[in-house]
A and B are shown apart, each in its own frame.
Chain A
Amino acid sequence: MDFVNQLQRKFIDYSSSLHREGIVDDQFTQLRKLEDENSPHFVMEVASLFFEDCEKLINNMAIALEQKQGVDFKQIDECIHQLKGSSSSIGAMRVKNACIAFRSFSDAQNREGCLRCLQQLSHEYSLLKNKLQTLFVVSVASRYLYVCLLMVGRENEHAEPFSDVLVFQLEQQIVAAGGSIPRVH
């Protein structure tokens, strides 16, 4: 029963599909390369910050577009600029592209166009969040499963460890929390 292999396979397939669908681009791959034993959750941390940021900005833009006395397009533009920057930095390609489209309507001070763009942006954001959260769950599950296997001495049933340094980190955490890593050989 090679659950870990299967999970790892799922992770790889799922990750590839995100790239294929254009949800993330090469910058996301670059971020994953920056994870190591000192920073094993870097991508998740940055993604969480991004989700918060995105929700706040989308909300601010929705409010701005509702203003009866006149829409502050300068504010909208600043929000778009910020969101375009952060989505680009984490590799959220479709969100970034939605921002680019949004900007042209904001520049033209086209309220209806902006409302449509905001809707599209929200949609892309939801999609991204959903997919990344799934990716993270699969990633974490397979790491923990690997550690469980380690604890019962069955780790060699798994062809390749998910990531040596990440497993090392998890082992350290278990030991630091007062647990032990029993080996059965």
Chain B
Amino acid sequence: MGNMATQTQFHVLAVDDSLIDRKLIERLLKTSSYQVTAVDSGSKALEFLGLNGENEDEERNSSVESVSAADEDHQVGVNLIITDYCMPGMTGYDLLRKIKQSSSFKDIPVVIMSSENIPSRINRCLEDGAEEFFLKPVKLSDVNKLRPHLMKGITTKTEMQSNTNKRKGSEEIQSPDRTRPRYNELEVV
């Protein structure tokens, strides 16, 4: 899998309005050797990705250092987004929806965290595209579950680059009751 010369580390975007939880998730992710950007709101997350309001690819402000993930040659974008559910303004669920509605970013895996164990909330997030739902406090064992979702992105890219038209096999990692088809496209994140 030697075509990934530019990308040595996965880059995770963490979103949480609590400073302590941001510190914790940052440490957990860095311990797992991920590059981390932590922001305190959904709107800052969208800004970082280059999504402002309704328009994609809007003029980026100086805080966005990486190239838009839509640029396939320079994959310095975000490989996974992990967000708190309960945030003032835009909730983690709202952020999830916005990501999944974006043509540039809908393939970025999104993981939701919450301190509250509410099954209807959990199901709604998973049905609307979240890969995982972690109950807080988040532990290292939770962060270890992120790797398959990140590796899936690499595998897809590698297949693109080697120009195969082979469909990805069913590498469903999530619970089998998910009905949304997710592996039909070869589109690169």
Q: Which residues of A contact B (CB under 8 A)?
A: 27, 30-31, 33-34, 36, 38-39, 42, 45-46, 49-50, 53, 81-82, 84-86, 88-91
Contacts and interface: CB of A to CB of B under 8 A. Distances in A.
Q: How large is the interface on B (under 10, 10 to 19, 20 to 34, 35 or more residues)?
A: 10 to 19
Nearest to A36: B31
Contacts of A30: 137, 139-140
B26 to A, nearest CB: 10
Contacts of A53: 19-20
B28 interface: yes
Contacts of B24: 31, 46, 89-90
Contact of A85 (B27, B30, B136, B140): B136
A85 B67 CA distance: 34
Given A27-B139, A89-B18, 10 more contacts: A34-B27, A46-B23, A49-B20, A49-B23, A53-B20, A84-B115, A85-B18, A85-B115, A88-B137, A89-B136
B21 interface: yes
A-side interface mostly:
helix
Contact of B137 (A39, A45, A89): A89
A81 B137 CA distance: 14
B19 A85 contact: no
Given A31-B24, A49-B19, A85-B18, A38 B115 contact: no
A50 B28 CA distance: 18
Contact of A89 (B20, B30, B31): B20
A34 B21 contact: no
User: Do most interface residues of chain B lie in helix, strand or loop, or is the interface mixed?
Assistant: helix
B21 A86 contact: yes
Interface of B: 18-21, 23-24, 27-28, 30-31, 86, 115, 136-137, 139-140
Contacts of B31: 34, 36
Contacts of A31: 24
Contacts of B27: 34, 39, 42
